[in-house]
Amino acid sequence: MFTKLKREDFKGRSRRLTREGFAVRPGLWRFAVRAATETQQRPVWLGRMQTRRPETSSGALWTRASAARPRNDLSVVLVHGVIVSSRYLMPLADELAADFPVVVPDLPGYGLSEPAPSPPNMADLADAVVAGARAAGHRRLAIVGNSFGAQIAIAAALRHPDLVERLVLIDLTTDPTARSFPRQFLRWARCGVDEHLSILPVMSRDLVDLGPRQAIHLLRVMMQDRPEQKLPAVRQPTLVVRGGRDRLVSASWARQSAELLPKGRLVVVPGYAHMPHWSGTCVVAPILRDFLAEGESG
C-alpha cells in the first residue's frame, strides 16, 4: 500500500508550518543545545521522557523511557542510526509517549552507554534493543528504527518474533544501488539542506561520543547488511516511511522495501529528508500513532 501525504493532511497535526509540508516542533534548538551538552551526572530530559541506566543482558544501557505508563500495552522502542544516539529520537519519543510506553536505548558505545567488550555485529545490536526493552519491563514491542536503526529493527524482528509485533522503518538504509562509502556520504550530504539545522550540535556530540574507530566499524556493519534479503521473512505488519526529499534513500528503494514485505505499506512525507522524525516530529508522530494503534485495536 502506497500513501503520499499532501499539505492538507498536515492541518491540525502541526504546531507550526515553515514551508510547504515542513513542521517544526517548538523549542527544538533549546533541546538540541541541552542534549549536546549533557553528562552522565546531568542527563538531558524532555517532557515525558526520563533518562535511566538499567542493567540488561547486553550490559548497562543508558535508556530514555517514558515516566508514565499509558493504557496501551504495546510498547514503542525507538532505535537510532549509525552515528547518532537516542538524543535525536527524543522529540519523537515525547510525542508518542502520550499514548504508548516508549523506550529509547543508547546502544553499546553510543551516547551515554559504555562500549561493548568487543565490536558489536548486527545480531548484538538487535539483541541489545530487545534487552533494553525487557529490562524496562516491556513484553509487547513495536520497534521504530531510522536509517541504520531500521536495519537493526529488521534484525530484531527476525530474532525475536515472539516479542516484536510491529515495525516502522523510517528511511531504511542501505539502498542496494549505493552500497559504498563514497555514494552513501555524497547522498547523505545532499540531504543537509532539507534537515533542520538544530540537528548539527546533536550529531556532533554523538560522533564525539562514538569515536572514529567505532564509527568506521559500525559503518561497515551497516554496509555489509543486506536488508533486501531479510525483508521477505518479516511477518510483522510494517510501515515504511520515507522523507520525500531524502537523497540517501531513493524513492525506488523505499517502494521496493515495502513490496518485499509480506505485510508492508509505504508512506511518503513530502518536505523532509533523511530524519523526518527530528525535522518534522509534529507530522511524523501522528502517522506512527495511527499505525501503532492498529496493533492495539487488532
Specify the pLDDT at position 82: 96
Q: In the block, which residue shows the cell 517532557?
A: 47
Nearest to 144 by CA among 256, 255, 233, 241: 241
Specify the pLDDT at position 297: 63
Specify the pLDDT at position 79: 98
Specify the pLDDT at position 106: 95
d(CA 106, CA 64): 8
CB 234 within 8 A of CB 126: no
CB 173 within 8 A of CB 150: yes
d(CA 103, CA 50): 10
Specify the pLDDT at position 137: 83
Q: What is the identity of the amino acid at 189? A: A
* DSSP secondary structure code for residue 277 in this structure: H
Mean per-residue pLDDT, 216-236: 97
Give the residue with greater pLDDT, 146 vs 295: 146
Q: What value does the CA radius of gyration of the chain take, rounded to a whole number of Å?
A: 17
Give the residue with greater pLDDT, 59 vs 103: 103
Specify the pLDDT at position 73: 85
d(CA 197, CA 32): 10
Nearest to 245 by CA among 229, 269, 228, 261: 269
In this structure, what C-alpha cell is assigned to residue 145?
Answer: 528504527
CATH number, domain with residue 233? 3.40.50.1820
How many domains does the chain fold into?
1
Confidence grade of residue 1 (pLDDT, cut at 50, 70, 90): very low
Specify the pLDDT at position 54: 81
Share the mean pLDDT of the chain. 89
- Least confident piece of the model among 109-123, 141-155, 178-192: 178-192
Specify the pLDDT at position 20: 44
Specify the pLDDT at position 72: 72
Query: pTM of the predicted model, to two decimals?
Result: 0.91
> Containing domain of residue 50, as a range?
2-297
Confidence grade of residue 185 (pLDDT, cut at 50, 70, 90): confident
d(CA 108, CA 104): 13
Mean per-residue pLDDT, 76-91: 96
Asked whether residue 215 carries a pLDDT value surpassing 50, the answer given is: yes
d(CA 143, CA 140): 10
- Is the backbone peptide bond immediately before 174 cis, with ω within 30 degrees of 0? yes
Q: For residue range 5-46, list pLDDT tens digits in order.
A: 344 443 433 333 444 445 678 889 999 999 999 999 999 989
Asked whether residue 121 carries a pLDDT value surpassing 60, the answer given is: yes
